[in-house]
Amino acid sequence: MEITYEDFRKVQIHVGTVLSVKNNEKARQPALVLEVDFGAEIGIKLSSAKITHYYNLENLIGRQIIAVCNFPTKNIAGIVSEAAERMSKKGNHFGILTVEDYTDAGKFFLFGDSYLKFRRFLVEGAFLYIKGKVEPKRYNKHEFEFKIHHIELLSEVRDKMVKSVTLHINSNAIDETYIAELAAVCKANAGPCGLNVVLINDEERIVLDLKSNAYQVEITNEFIEGVRKLPQLELKLN
């Protein structure tokens, strides 16, 4: 896809210095959480990156990196694996929501107005579409958290928003059985959305991007559950 010069001018690229690095314990695939100082104008930001093949906890601190700092609100689609409602010591109700996708799991706390607004989504097994941003914590501006701004049921948004689906698959996992199981899931959920497959070989750093001419799919709960059962596969809705 091409972009215009005017599009490029909108991109805010900044240089930052890595202050700290830690393992992302919640990530299903190895990832690092970076705390980066972009100066007085932007401040300190957090980012999770799958770069463990190239860097470790020691050799990143003090490095300067280049980052785009004006990306829009982050969108997450996943299944609720845990949900709970609790009461604080002050007697205030709050919610705990754990959402998993194909690579990571995130635990979110809903307090105050957010709890009242989103408590109906505290249902295990629900497929959700979440919008939010990484923001400083309310009582500690030096720490950051993902703040949920909006939640919808995935079934309510996918028909109007999803045009295609991309499956990122580790090529080492593929054999005849794997292909047959994936084909069965696609056949059982035929629909209007295009299907793309990206084969990845991390050891040799090879990426092969393929577009399926044989299958188009419908993004049903059954399709999502079916591909979730396949190992070393990450799904992306486009």
Give the tens place of pLDDT for each residue, 162-177.
788 888 888 888 889 9
Same domain for 223 and 171 = yes
Contact 43, 71 (CB under 8 A): no
Same domain for 87 and 60 = no
Same domain for 216 and 180 = yes
- Single out the residue in 157, 186, 201 at which a domain terminates: 157
> pLDDT confidence of 15, banded at 50, 70, 90?
very high
Tell me which of 18-27, 117-126, 132-141, 194-203 is least confident: 132-141
Residue 74 confidence (pLDDT) above 80: no
Same domain for 153 and 81 = yes
Residue 142 confidence (pLDDT) above 70: no
> Which carries the bigger pLDDT value, residue 73 or residue 154?
154
* Residue environment code for 204-228, b if the CB has 16+ CB neighbours within 10 A, otherwise e: eeeeeeeebeebbbbbeeebbebbe
- Single out the residue in 99, 132, 157 at which a domain terminates: 157
Distance, CA of 215 to CA of 196 (rounded, Å): 9
CATH number at residue 41: 2.40.50.140
The pTM for the full model equals 0.56
Strand partners, 5: none
Percent of the chain with pLDDT over 70: 91
How many helices (H) and strands (E) would you count in the chain?
Answer: 5, 13
Same domain for 99 and 24 = no
Contact 225, 216 (CB under 8 A): no
Tell me which of 65-69, 86-90, 117-121, 144-148 is least confident: 144-148
**Per-residue DSSP letter, 104:** B
Residue 143 confidence (pLDDT) above 70: no
Tokens representing 195 are: 């299907």
Between strands 164-170 and 190-201, the pairing is: parallel
Residue 27 confidence (pLDDT) above 70: no
> pLDDT confidence of 102, banded at 50, 70, 90?
low
Distance, CA of 186 to CA of 216 (rounded, Å): 7
Residue 136 confidence (pLDDT) above 80: no
Residue 78 confidence (pLDDT) above 90: no
- Single out the residue in 17, 43, 68 at which a domain terminates: 68
Domain range for residue 131? 74-157
Percent of the chain with pLDDT over 90: 25
Same domain for 63 and 32 = yes
Distance, CA of 130 to CA of 128 (rounded, Å): 6
Hey, CA dihedral for 220, 225, 229, 235, is it positive or negative? positive
* Residue environment code for 90-108, b if the CB has 16+ CB neighbours within 10 A, otherwise e: eeeebbebbbbbbbbbbeb
Distance, CA of 157 to CA of 85 (rounded, Å): 26
Same domain for 78 and 152 = yes
Q: How many domains does the chain have?
A: 3
Distance, CA of 23 to CA of 228 (rounded, Å): 24
Unique residue bearing structure tokens 């689906």: 165
> pLDDT confidence of 25, banded at 50, 70, 90?
confident
Same domain for 143 and 88 = yes
Same domain for 228 and 177 = yes
Same domain for 52 and 78 = no
pLDDT at 236: 77
